[in-house]
Amino acid sequence: MKALFIGGTGTISTAITALAPQCDIELYLINRGNKMDLVPEGVKVIQADINNEADIKDKLKNMTFDVVAQFIAFDTDALERDFRLFEGKTKQYIFISSASAYQKPLASPYITESTPLSNPYWEYSRKKIACEEYLMKQYRENGFPVTIVRPSHTYGDFSVPLAIHGKNGSYSVIDRIRNGKKVIIHGDGSSLWTLTHNTDFAKAFVGLMGNVHAIGDTVHITSDESLTWNQIYEIIGSALGVKPNIVHIPSETLAKADPELSGGLLGDKTHTVIFDNTKIKRLVPGFQATVRFDQGIRKTLAYILSHEELQSPDPEFDTWTDRMIQLYEEYEAKLSEI
């Protein structure tokens, strides 16, 4: 099988890029070349900017693929370009969408691929919905061989999956936990969430590649493990050898304090979600997510704490967190006086 990944070195795609060559897949990446250390031996890199359509068209002019996978598109303009580039040049085009596109607020926490798509809280999710609609239109009207994949919260070596963190990523929260500083969990921390290790995601994804039964279809890939946010932070703390000092603050309050949190909280992580993975298991017989969160997060933390380039301080986020906690605790204290 001959495959082309647009991207290939991100949180999700790194694990797939590592696994694909082990499955006799001849793999090419369109990549700017910024993370060449993450590209396994034998994977061929077409160093280019996918947004330079003329250059890409020239570099691919004599090439066809069994699979093209798009990991980095976030709007329909990118997909219109891909349709121009790859119509007639691939037997399957796989688009990475998002499980955040599922209906919010949820009518039921049990999610299947037929759960409606609607997210008034998060523009990112609405753009993914628009991308899905565009691609399915191309499938119906032009026979473009689309497969849509919806990941939920997938993590790997480079970042700890959290509900709330700053612009510099997860390290600031890790550092707060291991130093006994207070950290914020939205709501009361009892809503259920699903975290999937990227190596588990990769196994299912590779099983979809070249899979005729997946053409014209949509499927999500997640673990079957459900954890509360309190459990997630307790597990992170346990892996660091400490008990996290947690402060619960309502999601709506956090979103008002920082509107940029609104999409990720009110449009996603606030809600209990339990994924039904029957479909991916039917399409990829034998697939099972096998990395429990307590296992995967130890590997993630070990990697981060041994790579200084991933240990980015975030003083702006730390200041915001401390101030947010102070104000909320003062508010709670005043409530007790009523």
Give mean pLDDT in consecutive 10-residue pieces for the chain, a chain of 338 residues: 94 96 96 81 92 94 96 96 97 98 93 97 97 98 98 96 94 97 98 98 98 98 98 98 98 96 95 97 98 98 96 96 97 85
Is the domain of 135 the same as that of 81? yes
**Residue 70 forms part of a structural domain:** yes
pLDDT at 36: 79
Q: What is the number of structural domains in the chain? A: 2
Is the domain of 138 the same as that of 182? no
Name the strand (E) or helix (H) holding 221.
Answer: strand 217-221
Cα separation, 252 vs 53, whole angstroms: 42
**CATH assignment of the domain containing 76:** 3.40.50.720
Is the domain of 316 the same as that of 186? yes
Question: DSSP state, 40?
Answer: P
pLDDT at 335: 85
Residue type, 87: E
Instruction: Indicate the burial class of 16 (C-beta count within 10 angstroms; 0-12, 13-18, 19 or more).
Output: buried
pLDDT at 88: 96
**Residue 42 forms part of a structural domain:** yes
Is the domain of 217 the same as that of 179? no
Domain boundaries, position 84: 2-155+195-221
Is the domain of 184 the same as that of 118? no
Domain boundary among 206, 221, 236: 221
Characterize the bridge pairing of strands 217-221 and 146-151: parallel
Is the domain of 182 the same as that of 200? no
Q: Residues with Cβ < 8 Å from 271, sequence gap 6 or more?
A: 104, 105, 106, 109, 191
Is the domain of 265 the same as that of 119? no
**Residue 87 forms part of a structural domain:** yes
pLDDT at 33: 74
Task: Judge contact between 30 and 56, C-beta under 8 A.
Answer: yes
Which residue in the block uniquely carries the two structure tokens 């994977």? 43
Task: Judge contact between 223 and 287, C-beta under 8 A.
Answer: no
Characterize the bridge pairing of strands 192-193 and 227-228: antiparallel
**Residue 62 forms part of a structural domain:** yes
**Residue 281 forms part of a structural domain:** no
Tens digit of each residue's pLDDT (9 = 90 or more) over 271-280:
999 999 999 9
**CATH assignment of the domain containing 301:** 3.90.25
Cα separation, 60 vs 257, whole angstroms: 48
Beta bridge partners of 2: 26
Is the domain of 93 the same as that of 134? yes
What string of H, E and C letters represents the secondary structure of 201-217? HHHHHHHHCCCHHHCCE
Is the domain of 87 the same as that of 59? yes
Q: Taking the model in full, what pTM does it have?
A: 0.96
Cα separation, 267 vs 186, whole angstroms: 13
Listed in sequence order, the DSSP H helices in 74-170 are: 76-86, 123-142
Task: Judge contact between 184 and 254, C-beta under 8 A.
Answer: yes
Helices (H) and strands (E) counted in the chain, each on its own, are 12, 15
Is the domain of 210 the same as that of 241? no
Other residues' Cβ atoms within 10 Å of the Cβ of residue 130: 15
**Residue 317 forms part of a structural domain:** yes
Listed in sequence order, the DSSP H helices in 179-314 are: 198-208, 229-240, 251-257, 262-264, 278-283, 293-305
**Residue 280 forms part of a structural domain:** no
Is the domain of 214 the same as that of 319? no
Planar angle of CA 176, 264, 295, nearest 5 degrees: 55
Task: Judge contact between 160 and 172, C-beta under 8 A.
Answer: no
**Residue 278 forms part of a structural domain:** no
Is the domain of 254 the same as that of 128? no
pLDDT at 271: 95
pLDDT at 130: 98
